[in-house]
Chain A
Amino acid sequence: MSKEQRNVVLPSQELAPVGEKKAGRGTFVENGKIYSQHLGILNDRSGFLNVVPLTGRYSPVEGDFVIGVVIEAMASSWLVDINAPYPALLHVNEVPWTVDFGDTEKYLNHGDSVMAKVLQVDEAKKLNITLKDRNLYKIRNGNIIDVEPSKVPRIIGRKGSMISLIKQYTRARIFVGQNGRVWIDGDETGVAKVIQVIRLIEEESLSFGLTNKIEELLKNDTKDVQKK
């Protein structure tokens, strides 16, 4: 992996002619040239130029695990806000409970939070989510914080290195939704620590060797916690 510099590109910035590279995500082609579509970071994966946006809404992908907040309980489904441009539909068939018609409010109500999986994103960008998968349930306690969706991969780290590091030192339970919502549960100091660390990661998400830096920080603050 190149360690030199992350390349910030602006929308409409010319990246390369079509023959040289292939247009990947976040780019568009006009008159035989590839341009960036977003304000983002340019990367080159085996000839494909991708621009990963630095800011912006979460764009749902099938199979993503997300944290949603119920907006409305309807007769046989719920509308859930998952931080995407559109509300997602959670049908009664997609929850682990048997819900009678019209009884949806008994199970989930306006303002309740759920961990969910994106089931389907169709052509018209209609969203369906499900609770029928491992470890998906209604959230009853803990804290939820919002982060920039583009920073989620950094919070998780490569193969979950960052997140397991935080869990190890703070003993908090953490669930990072792909949509930029993070659920944290644990004792008060642990939660405060996690929030502090996540804000730091967000701020310095573009720097290198971040996992080591965070480990240092966590180590200094929790001397009494023995490492496993």
Chain B
Amino acid sequence: MKSDVELLTAEGKRLDGRSFDELRKVTIEAGVLHRADGSCYLEWGGNKVLAAVYGPREAIPRHTQNPLRAIVSARYNMAAFSVEDRKRPGPDRRSREISKVISDALERIVFTEEYPRASIDVNMEVLDAEAGTRCAALTAAGVALADAGIPMADIPVACASGKIGGKVVLDLGKEEDNFGDADLPVAIAPRTGEILLLQMDGHLTVDEFNQALDLAMKGCYTVSEIQKQALLHKYQDIAEEGT
């Protein structure tokens, strides 16, 4: 999509004043919901996401059960009030796709073979949207899973990079996403560097792609530290209070 929107200032800064490799502000809080087994509230720039994990519990309906391992069923949903024009509530083509790719990404890092026939339900609710909600949702889901005590090989984390005005940049904002040239959301397992999710919208050359992937991975590692701090903040503090 070609447009005449100027996304870069003359000094090479972005619309919101960030540099090319700068993330928006990310804040994470673990264990915010009382009824869920594990939960997380995350703010990423203008995105606000709640994630709740239930289970492991018996998978229903029965035919979805796998006799050898658990299934991870993630549900991504955008609230009607999360975007400027009211979003028609309920699952649509887009949110079903995101639910599926996030389910697959999470299934890769959870030790599913420990809970045959069970399902681990992950609900992600986007309360406020400002580009990059699937990354925000997956990052929140990772923290919520850890908070729920689910055995896992890694805490998954996601971050996007993209191309605006001919430059590869990290973590697209709303205008950059709408009027930019490409968007590349990436989710990784930070311990191994394994890619759990990789999607691309728009056009990138091979060089640009590699550059964007490296940049997104770097962003992931930064966010991963924030995730760990959020979990430690909740549980380490309790541990230290008593000493």
Q: Which residues of B contact A124 (CB under 8 A)?
A: 67, 116-117
Q: Which residues of A contact B111 (CB under 8 A)?
A: 28, 37
CB distance from B116 to the nearest CB of A (A): 6
Which stretch (B77-85, B207-215, B234-242) binds chain A? B234-242
B191: nearest residue on chain A (CB-CB)? Answer: A12
Q: Which residues of B contact A5 (CB under 8 A)?
A: 239-240, 243
In the complex, whether A86 has a CB less than 8 A from a CB of chain B is yes
Known contacts A8-B239, A124-B116; decide if A56 and B148 are in contact (CB<8 Å). yes
In the complex, which of the residues B115, B153, B154 contacts A125, with contact meaning CB atoms closer than 8 Å?
B115
Q: Judging by beta carbons under 8 Å apart, are B153 and A35 in contact? A: yes
Cα(A201)–Cα(B58), bound, Å: 30
Q: Judging by beta carbons under 8 Å apart, are B37 and A55 in contact? A: yes
A7: nearest residue on chain B (CB-CB)? Answer: B239
Q: Judging by beta carbons under 8 Å apart, are B235 and A54 in contact? A: yes
Q: Judging by beta carbons under 8 Å apart, are A206 and B57 in contact? A: no
In the complex, whether A15 has a CB less than 8 A from a CB of chain B is no
Known contacts A5-B240, A28-B111, A124-B116; decide if A55 and B149 are in contact (CB<8 Å). yes
Q: How large, as a class, is the contact surface on chain A? A: 20 to 34
CB distance from B172 to the nearest CB of A (A): 28
CB distance from B233 to the nearest CB of A (A): 11
Q: Give A residues with C-beta under 8 Å from B.
A: 4-6, 8, 10-12, 26, 28, 30, 35, 37-41, 53-57, 85-87, 124-125, 150, 204, 206-208, 210
Q: Known contacts A28-B111, A54-B149; can you find 14 more A-B pairs with CB under 8 A?
A: A4-B243, A8-B239, A12-B154, A12-B155, A12-B189, A35-B191, A37-B151, A38-B149, A40-B149, A56-B37, A57-B149, A85-B56, A86-B118, A206-B241
Which of A11, A53, A206 has the most B CB atoms < 10 Å from its CB? A11
Q: Which residues of B contact A53 (CB under 8 A)?
A: 149
Q: Judging by beta carbons under 8 Å apart, are A85 and B37 in contact? A: no
In the complex, whether B228 has a CB less than 8 A from a CB of chain A is yes
In the complex, whether B38 has a CB less than 8 A from a CB of chain A is yes
Q: Judging by beta carbons under 8 Å apart, are A11 and B56 in contact? A: no
Q: Judging by beta carbons under 8 Å apart, are A10 and B155 in contact? A: yes
Interface string of B136-164 (1 = CB under 8 A from A): 00000000001111111111000000000
Q: Judging by beta carbons under 8 Å apart, are A206 and B238 in contact? A: yes
Q: Judging by beta carbons under 8 Å apart, are A10 and B232 in contact? A: yes
Q: Judging by beta carbons under 8 Å apart, are B38 and A85 in contact? A: no
Cα(A18)–Cα(B148), bound, Å: 27
**Total chain B interface residues with beta-carbon distance under 8 A:** 36
Cα(A90)–Cα(B154), bound, Å: 37
Q: Which residues of B contact A28 (CB under 8 A)?
A: 111, 153
Q: Judging by beta carbons under 8 Å apart, are A206 and B239 in contact? A: yes
Q: Which residues of A contact B238 (CB under 8 A)?
A: 206
Interface string of B115-134 (1 = CB under 8 A from A): 11110000000000000000
In the complex, whether B173 has a CB less than 8 A from a CB of chain A is no
In the complex, which of the residues B58, B118, B191, B243 contacts A208, with contact meaning CB atoms closer than 8 Å?
B243
Cα(A5)–Cα(B148), bound, Å: 23
Q: Judging by beta carbons under 8 Å apart, are B231 and A37 in contact? A: no
Could you name 28 residue pairs across A and B whose Cβ atoms are closer than 8 Å? A5-B243, A8-B232, A8-B236, A10-B155, A10-B228, A11-B146, A11-B155, A12-B155, A26-B151, A35-B191, A37-B151, A39-B149, A39-B231, A55-B37, A55-B38, A56-B148, A56-B149, A56-B150, A57-B55, A85-B56, A85-B58, A86-B58, A86-B117, A87-B58, A125-B117, A206-B239, A207-B241, A207-B242
Cα(A54)–Cα(B115), bound, Å: 18
Q: Judging by beta carbons under 8 Å apart, are A207 and B243 in contact? A: yes
Q: Which residues of A contact B241 (CB under 8 A)?
A: 204, 206-207
Cα(A52)–Cα(B84), bound, Å: 46
Per CB-CB distance, the 9 closest pairs between chain A and chain B, nearest first, are A207-B242, A56-B149, A55-B149, A37-B151, A85-B56, A12-B154, A53-B149, A206-B239, A12-B191
